[in-house]
């Protein structure tokens, strides 16, 4: 659909006298755009029974919101477009819902503009679960709803975390994960939503247990979608938040979390994000792991180090930090330290003697030396 603002723009083939053409002043553009947006918003109020008109209004607002360089965001925010679209979520017809949801997703690419300007977010937090309950089998609607919850979960200063946890957002999202395990987009949006919540507060992992068994669903997502690196990384971030609390360890071990992390490290060893998130999750679990689980993780760390020791210093640092956790755990025997040493000393030594002198990365040198020291390895005897 082509949107025209103001007077008829005429044919594209009409000649334009170059010597007389002048760019339209920005103030004129803003004024005309304001009038146009106001008319569209009026449609969302007056055309409640006309599905075609209402859907078209939602779509046009979406096109305007997606304009180059977000040049229309001030107009949309100032006229209350965000709140108007939130009201459209109460409409019974699916085309209207899809149009409103799609436009809200575009707007929420810039949440600080729309949410901050209108403070209409509380209504959205409540409206989204209502839509999910009304249309429980519309997978595209559920996907968009969960994606919006994810954006709200990542809002600055965790301003929506409490309302998202207290309301129906979590149960509705878990229900979608349960009913549509093979829908990659629903699983991805759900995992991202939980991961965004985890980034807001260190206590979220403990709260997740109270909200439902999130661990069961994120590990299942990793199992059913093993080649999807974003699902693997997001799931590992959720598990990392939960593993920080020893009270969760028994629950996590019951979900086959460790085998999921090991498989993710095998499959996505080339992805810095997956590797780092998986190792953070595993680090929190070390006190509760048996020897076989520790050895499996150590073996993968050795493989990753041999693959990435030249290309990814951040991965090397994550691996070295994990070795320190393994070696310094209370029940790490001398035999286990020797097992670790056989897997990681050679690649860590190459980092220390080849990469560090070239990069002069003191932080990298420090963590590698600490890992070697924790294994009782003298760097000068390697």
pLDDT at position 117, please? 46
Among 23-27, 191-195, 345-349, the range scoring the smallest mean pLDDT is: 23-27
Q: CA nearest 124: which of 104, 141, 138?
A: 104
Q: What is the pLDDT of residues 204-237, one digit of tens each?
A: 766 676 565 889 999 999 999 999 999 999 999 9
On whether the CB atoms of residues 228 and 274 are closer than 8 A, the answer is no
**Residue 1 pLDDT level (bands cut at 50, 70, 90):** very low
> Residue 256: inside a domain, yes or no?
no
- The boundaries of the domain holding residue 336 are 295-382
> Residue 141: inside a domain, yes or no?
no
> Residue 339: inside a domain, yes or no?
yes
pLDDT at position 83, please? 83
> Residue 368: inside a domain, yes or no?
yes
On whether the CB atoms of residues 85 and 100 are closer than 8 A, the answer is yes
> Residue 239: inside a domain, yes or no?
no
> Residue 81: inside a domain, yes or no?
no
Q: What is the pLDDT of residues 246-289, one digit of tens each?
A: 888 988 988 889 999 999 999 999 999 999 999 999 999 999 99
> Residue 354: inside a domain, yes or no?
yes
Complete DSSP assignment for 29-59:
HHHHHHHHHHHHHHHHHH-TT-HHHHHHHHH
Quote the number of domains for the chain. Answer: 1
Comparing 73 with 186, which gets the higher pLDDT? 186
> Residue 338: inside a domain, yes or no?
yes
pLDDT at position 327, please? 94
């Amino acid at each position: 659909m082509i949107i025209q603002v103001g007077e008829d723009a005429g044919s594209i083939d009409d000649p334009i006298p170059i010597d007389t053409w002048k760019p339209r002043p920005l103030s004129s553009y803003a004024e005309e755009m304001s009038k146009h947006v106001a008319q569209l918003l009026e449609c969302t109020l007056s055309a409640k029974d006309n599905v075609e008109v209402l859907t078209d209004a939602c779509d046009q607002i979406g096109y305007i919101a997606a304009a180059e360089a977000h040049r229309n965001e001030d107009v949309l925010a100032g006229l209350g477009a965000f709140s108007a679209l939130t009201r459209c979520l109460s409409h019974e017809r699916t085309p209207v819902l899809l149009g409103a949801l799609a436009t809200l997703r575009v707007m929420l690419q810039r949440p600080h503009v729309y949410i901050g300007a209108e403070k209409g977010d509380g209504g959205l937090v409540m409206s989204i679960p209502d839509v999910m309950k009304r249309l429980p089998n519309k997978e595209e609607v559920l996907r968009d709803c969960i994606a919006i919850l994810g954006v709200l979960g990542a809002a600055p200063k965790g301003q929506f975390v409490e309302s998202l946890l207290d309301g129906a957002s979590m149960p509705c999202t878990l229900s979608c994960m349960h009913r549509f395990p093979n829908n990659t987009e629903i699983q991805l949006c759900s995992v991202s939503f939980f991961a965004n919540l985890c980034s807001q507060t260190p206590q979220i992992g403990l709260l997740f247990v109270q909200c439902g068994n999130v661990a069961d669903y994120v590990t299942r997502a990793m199992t059913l979608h093993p080649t999807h690196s974003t699902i693997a990384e997001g799931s590992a971030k959720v598990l990392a938040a939960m593993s920080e609390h020893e009270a969760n360890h028994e629950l996590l071990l019951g979900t086959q979390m460790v085998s999921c992390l090991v498989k993710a490290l095998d499959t996505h060893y080339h992805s810095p994000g997956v590797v780092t998130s998986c190792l953070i999750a595993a680090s929190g679990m070390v006190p509760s792991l048996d020897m076989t689980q520790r050895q499996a993780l150590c073996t993968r760390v050795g493989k990753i180090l041999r693959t990435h020791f030249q290309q990814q210093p951040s991965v090397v640092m994550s691996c070295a930090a994990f070795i320190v956790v393994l070696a310094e755990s209370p029940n790490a025997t001398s035999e286990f330290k020797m097992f670790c040493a056989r897997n990681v000393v050679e690649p860590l030594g190459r980092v220390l003697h080849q990469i560090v002198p070239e990069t002069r990365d003191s932080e990298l040198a420090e963590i590698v030396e600490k890992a070697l020291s924790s294994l009782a390895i003298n760097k000068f005897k390697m």
